[in-house]
């Protein structure tokens, strides 16, 4: 485990792995959050594992999330290593006096050669590819990138890794696509049950794994 000093909150790096860890998920409740809005979100560009800075609204989303996390009694802040998620998570961690746990497996689905493109640009460069995706969204793979099935494996390992910290009420800051796979793993649901879920930047899913209860919370932008 590598520890990196980072202000305003310390950051601890939890490594990369695709094999399930020996860690039963024993959370009382898990809070699944998405990073704040970015410039590429505004422009309609596919980000994947590329990065784009938070907008002013994105920063307000992050501050609103921090206030909600404080009210919810979050005991750990875990995040994707990608800058937009890390920047969002740091604000919550600082408000709670916690370290940021960087979990590599929480990175967004890799968009391969489509990263940085708008949908129109992707359709021009890869004719018919997005139509094929609509036929099997779970197994379809971005050209040179990942599928939901790939990310599903990573999501399971990420939850195992977070469980090993002993946290009972973690906040997990990630991305919309990997977030769907986190939700699937926590609920034990079919991929088809979560692939159409949407998560605006201000929406937090509060999940109770033992009961399967999911509540949508609003992190009011500040």
CATH of the domain at 82: 3.40.50.1240
CA–CA distance, 16 with 12 (Å, rounded to integer): 13
Give me the catalytic one of 101, 105, 108, 146.
Answer: 108
CA–CA distance, 9 with 90 (Å, rounded to integer): 6
Looking only at the bridges linking them, the beta strands covering 170-174 and 11-14 are unpaired
* Total number of domains constituting the chain: 1
* Average per-residue pLDDT for the chain: 91
Residue 134 lies in a domain: no
Which residues in 126-147 are b (16+ Cβ under 10 Å) and which e? Answer: beebeeebeeeebeebbeebbb
- pLDDT at residue number 124: 97
Closest CA to 86 of 138, 143, 36, 50: 36
Contacts of 7 (CB under 8 A, 6+ apart): none
Q: What is the pLDDT of residues 78-133, one digit of tens each?
A: 999 999 999 999 999 999 999 999 999 999 999 999 999 999 999 999 999 999 99
Residue 135 lies in a domain: no
Give me the catalytic one of 31, 35, 110, 111.
Answer: 35
Residue 209 lies in a domain: yes
Check if 35 is active-site: yes
Range of the domain at 105: 2-111+151-218
Residue 40 lies in a domain: yes
Q: Is pLDDT of 173 > 60?
A: yes
Task: Quickly state the pLDDT bin for 3 (edges 50, 70, 90).
Answer: very low
């Amino acid at each position: 485990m590598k520890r990196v000093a980072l202000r305003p909150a310390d950051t601890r790096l939890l490594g990369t792995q695709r094999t399930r860890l020996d860690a039963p998920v024993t959370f009382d409740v898990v809070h699944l959050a998405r990073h704040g809005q970015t410039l590429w979100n505004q422009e309609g560009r596919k980000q994947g594992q590329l990065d784009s800075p938070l907008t002013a609204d994105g920063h307000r989303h992050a501050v609103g999330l921090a206030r909600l996390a404080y009210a919810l009694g979050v005991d750990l802040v875990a995040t994707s290593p990608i800058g937009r998620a890390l920047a969002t998570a740091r604000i919550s961690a600082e408000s709670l006096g916690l370290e940021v746990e960087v979990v590599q497996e929480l990175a967004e689905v890799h968009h391969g050669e489509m990263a940085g493109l708008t949908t129109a640009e992707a359709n021009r460069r890869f004719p018919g590819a997005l139509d094929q995706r609509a036929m099997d969204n779970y197994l379809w793979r971005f050209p040179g990138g990942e599928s939901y099935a790939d990310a599903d494996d990573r999501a399971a390992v990420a939850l195992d890794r977070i469980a090993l910290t002993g946290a009972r009420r973690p906040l997990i800051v990630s991305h919309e696509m990997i977030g769907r796979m986190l939700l699937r793993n926590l609920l034990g649901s079919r991929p088809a049950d979560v692939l159409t879920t949407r998560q605006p930047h201000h929406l937090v899913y509060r999940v109770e794994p033992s009961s399967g209860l999911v509540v949508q919370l609003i992190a009011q932008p500040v």
